[in-house]
Amino acid sequence: VELQTIGGGGEEIDLEDSGPRTQGRWLAPMIPTSRVPKLLREVLPQADLDDVQWRPIAWRAWRRIFKRWAVLVAISTLAGAVFLDPWAAAFGTAAMPLAYVHSHLYVKHAGYALTAWGLLFRTGWWERTTKIVGYGKIQTVGREESPFDRHNDMASVRVDTAGAEMIGHTIVIPYLEAEVAAEVSRHLYEESSRRNFRL
C-alpha cells in the first residue's frame, strides 16, 4: 500500500525547479490482503472498502482489447517468420488464445466506484492495482475520446490529482460507454467543485 504525496516535510513547492519534488511513501510494503481495509480506514477514516459498489467498464471492450493484441501478435509472428525462422509462426498459434483470455480477464477485473468521499479504480488480473482519490484531491477531470472510442461509442474519463504532472498520479478509466463517461465525468466535476482543493 503506497501513498503518493507532494511537497512533503513542510517544504515549499518550487514549480520552476526541475529536481525531485514528490514522495511516494509506503504505508505497508507487505501486508495481508485482509488487513488492507482496516489500514486504509486508519489513513482515510471515511473510506470503507467493505461497502464499495463496484461498476464495470463496458463488457464489449474485450473485442477492442483482443483486436489490438491480435494485430500485435500477427505483426510479430509475420516478422519472425520472414526474418528469423518459419517456425516463429508457431508463436502466433500459441499467443492468440492467450490474447483472447487476457482481453476477457482485463474487462472482468477492471472497475470503478463513486463513493460519497471519492473515486476508486481497479485494474489488472495478474497484477491487480486499486487507486483511490478523495474528491478534495482532484485537480482536473476530463473526458477523452480517441478515434477508436468514437467509432465504438465509448470514451475514457481522466482524473488528475495534486501534482499529477510531477508524480504521474493520474487515474484513467477506459472503455466506458459514451453516456456513462459523460455521467461519471460530470459527477466527479460536481463533487470536486464542492470541496476546497488541497495539496
Mean pLDDT of the chain: 81
pLDDT tens-digit map of 148-177: 999 999 999 999 986 545 555 789 999 999
Reported as type and span, the H/E element at residue 174 is strand 170-177
pLDDT band at 6 (very low <50, low <70, confident <90, very high): very low
pLDDT number for residue 113: 96
Query: What number of other Cβ atoms are within 10 A of residue 23's Cβ?
Result: 13
pLDDT tens digits along 53-91 = 999 999 999 999 999 988 888 877 777 666 667 666 666
